Chain A
Amino acid sequence: MSLFSGFEIGRKALAAHQAVLDTVGHNLANVATRGYARQRAELVAVAPRNGVEVAQIRRLRDRFLDVQLIQEGGGLGRAQAQVNLLQRLESIFTEDPEAGLGATLSRFFRAFQDLSVHPTDPALRVTVKEAGAQVAATFRDLRGGLDVLKADLVTEIESRVSAANGLVTEIAELNRRIVAARGGGLEPSDLLDRRDLLVAQLSEIAGVAASDNENGSVRVTIAGTGVRLLDGDLVSTLTVALDGSTNTVRLQVDDEVVAPQSGALAALVGARNSPTGPISQAASDLDALARSIIDEVNRLHASGAGLTGHATLTAANAVSSSTVALTAAGLPSSPLTGAFRIVVHDSAGSVASTVDVSVTAGVTTLEDVRSAIDADPNLTATISAGILTVSAASGMTYAFASDTSDTLLALGLNTFFTGTDALTIGESPLVAGDVAKIAAARVDSTGLVHRGDGENALALARLRTKPTLRGGTATFVDFLGTLVSRVGSEARDATQALDRQEAAVELVENLQQQTSGVSTDEELLTLTQAQHAYAAAARYISTLNDVIDSLFQITR
């Protein structure tokens, strides 16, 4: 071995050594870097007796666990979005003991209870009017909150789609740089770390699957669909569109419609589109509750009488045609076979005339009803734009009674509420304009209305405890309680699912950390051990020189 080659071997050994230590330093510097995989300098002997050099700086990472992380990340993104959504939904239904729907309904029915005892008290009538307005406003607020939440989902979906496209572009750029580096014989460990991190983040949004290409780039698809988001540096664009005909949002990759099965977008799009999703279900239940209250209150109120009779009254609901059966005339509810009565009173309150209007379901038209009413000489009934108006002769008033056909309810005559659901519920102009028209009394068997009668108000108050919903098994409050607790329970279930998903991700991350994580203790321990080994070896240099010197003596 020549002197030069000896030093060349030594130079290579030191350079290799320096690379090993530099790698230790790089690992330590990135101990807190998310997604960093520790690196190890791998040394190889240079062909025969020519020293050593660094073959590669190897990145310690388990690809199988990477695939699992991407998969679990999609589940995590979905669970997080689900929890966030349900917590917002829960906050809408959080019952305020004073202003919540339950409290408002209680006040409303209690006001009728009080009115039933003192039906002529104007203050109690105002209380009923205000309580009714509060019920309607609370329903509209809750329902409006659900609509806002649904609208917010679109904004959130758009924001996530934009973030996903940003990640796709960045991953494609990393793909390009990784391929270039590999082509140059380099191992771009830090670029690979960054790309793995971004693919995991993309999966949290869109639930993706990634596969390695031979040149070092990755191909990313929407998991479970095979729809390509990017391949090498070729990128597709994820877009979101609102389909007006179905009122649903649609995700597309280029021109292909896609439905992510995991990731935040799966949860958000599902919640926005599904008719059985938590928001749609809550809205549907709220509508059902509002509709039931509207119908039950209006049915009783329509057959009752106020402190003063009607001189003229116009129906709230229009028919599509006055000559088709009421059941097919587009009314919010269908009349049944039955009858209702109108009693006309003179200025002294005595009965002037009575008209009984018979209704046959599927047969009777609005024109038939008008004609029957108009037959009474003290009443005039007209139809304008499908809306019935009934007027009493001059100096006379009239009251409705005993509607067994639900025709007054369907037409919106003498009703307390207007509207058909939680979004449209309102107090009728009749009640809002004159509290004396609140029907606390009933026309008695002789046709008279007594000022002190609170029988109808009592019947209205008793609606509170009447099981009218879910096939006659649940009161309004029961139904509301079930709705609120279901929302809360769904939020709790989602939180538990998120906890489980976080635990699953943490497990895989921990496994990956065992391979990839930097342990400063271990890195420093390795350094210290190495330093001790070299220090110990150094101590023998002079000892061995002494041994050799002692032999020189006799070999002269």
Chain B
Amino acid sequence: MTAALDTLSDALAAESRHLAALLELLEEEGQVLRRGEAVSLAAITDRKEAWIRDRAALEDTRRQALSLVARALHIDLSAVTLTDLARREPAQAGRLLARRDELRRLTSRLSALVQHNGFLIERSLRYFRGFVSSLVGAVAHPATYTASGRHDVQAAAVGLIDRRG
């Protein structure tokens, strides 16, 4: 049992470090959003994508460690919680509860940041869409039809050309 709990504890520690990296990333994203730096935002999104890819391996490790614990305790995998494990294994309680509290702190902070950044992203995106559609509406050439009945697209008449060209 102790070995299974050691494996689980190591997996959760690795996961905490990984979540802490995300936390830094989201804080950085918050600053970028506040400054409206679209290029930096795209770079952060790329880094989040890499974070998600790494995440899959960590989740597998955690699931395997939890399965070992569940089998040792003869309980269902979905019923395993760190609070319950600490109660069942008092000798390991200190270590398990420390892991639980660390994860709780990280997820709470991450949840707040995701919500906050999400709010800024969604509102900005909505404003962008409205702005761009207004612009396109203002500069778009009215639909015309040729003698063949086809839509005649006059690129030059759209007007949005670089005057320096």
A-side residues, CB < 8 A to B, are 1, 6, 9-10, 12-14, 16-18, 20-21, 25, 28, 31-32, 43, 45, 51-52, 510, 513-514, 517-522, 524, 526-538, 540-541, 543-545, 547-548, 550-556
The answer, among A43, A519, A551, A556, for a CB contact under 8 Å with B36, is A43
B100 / chain A contacts, CB cutoff of 8 Å: 554-555
The minimal Cβ–Cβ distance linking B7 to chain A, given in whole angstroms, is 14
Q: Which 9 residue pairs are nearest across A and B when measured between Cβ atoms? A: A530-B38, A52-B34, A533-B42, A541-B118, A13-B34, A534-B125, A533-B38, A533-B41, A520-B160
Interface SS of chain B: helix
Q: Which residue of B lies closest to A530 (CB)?
A: B38
B8-35: contact bitstring with A at CB < 8 Å (1 yes, 0 no)?
0000100100010010000001010111
- Enumerate chain A residues within 8 angstroms of B41, measured Cβ to Cβ: 533-534, 537
Contact status A18-B127, CB under 8 Å: yes
- A538 CA to B118 CA in the complex, in Å? 7
Complex Cα–Cα for A26 and B19 (A): 42
- Provide the bound-state CA to CA distance between A396 and B30, in Å: 123
Name the residue of chain B whose CB is nearest to the CB of A514: B164
Contact B34 A556 (CB under 8 A): no
**Total of A-B residue pairs, C-beta within 8 Å:** 153
Q: Report the separation of the CA atoms of residues A250 and B35 in the bound assembly, to the nearest whole angstrom.
A: 59
Query: Can you offer 8 A-B residue contacts whose CB atoms are under 8 A?
Result: A43-B34, A513-B164, A527-B131, A531-B129, A534-B128, A541-B121, A547-B52, A548-B111
Check B132 against A527 for contact (C-beta < 8 Å).
Answer: yes
Contacts of B72 in A (CB 8 A): none
The answer to whether B135 and A550 have CB atoms under 8 Å apart is: no
Q: Given the complex, which residues of B lie within 8 Å of A534, measured CB to CB? A: 38, 41, 121, 124-125, 128
Residues A533 and B39 in contact in the complex (CB < 8 Å), given A18-B127, A45-B34, A551-B107: yes
User: Does B88 count as interface, using CB distance less than 8 angstroms?
Assistant: no
How many residues belonging to B are interface residues under a CB distance threshold of 8 Å? 57
In the bound complex, how far is the Cα of B132 from the Cα of A247, in angstroms?
Answer: 65
A550 to B123, CA, bound (A): 27
Q: Are A21 and B131 in contact (CB under 8 A)?
A: yes
Q: Tell whether A12 pairs with B34 under 8 Å between CB atoms, given A527-B131, A537-B45.
A: yes
Q: By the criterion CB–CB under 8 Å, are B103 and A540 in contact?
A: no
A514-B162 Cα distance, complex, nearest whole Å: 12
A551 to B128, CA, bound (A): 34
A544 close to B82 (CB less than 8 A):
no
The answer to whether B120 has its CB under 8 Å from any CB of chain A is yes
Q: Select the residue from A514, A535, A536, A537 with max chain B CB neighbours within 10 A.
A: A537
Provide the B109-133 mask, 1 if CB < 8 A to any CB of A, else 0: 0111010111111111101110110
Considering the chains assembled together, what is the distance between the CA atoms of A290 and B124 in angstroms?
83
Q: Which residues of chain B come closer than 8 Å to A20, judged between CB atoms?
A: 36
For residues 63 through 113 of chain B, which have their beta carbon under 8 Å from a beta carbon of chain A? 66, 78, 80-83, 100, 103-104, 107, 110-112
Q: How far is the CA of A362 from the CA of B135 in the complex (A)?
A: 92
B162 to chain A: which residues have CB within 8 Å?
A: 519-522
Given contacts A9-B34, A32-B163, contact A533 B120 (CB under 8 A): no
Q: Whole-angstrom distance between the alpha carbons of A227 and B142 in the complex?
A: 55
Is there contact, CB below 8 Å, between A14 and B123? Answer: yes
* Nearest-Cβ distance from residue A544 to partner chain B, whole angstroms: 5
In the complex, the answer to whether A554 meets B125 with C-beta atoms within 8 Å is no
Interchain CA distance A547-B76 in the complex, whole Å: 21
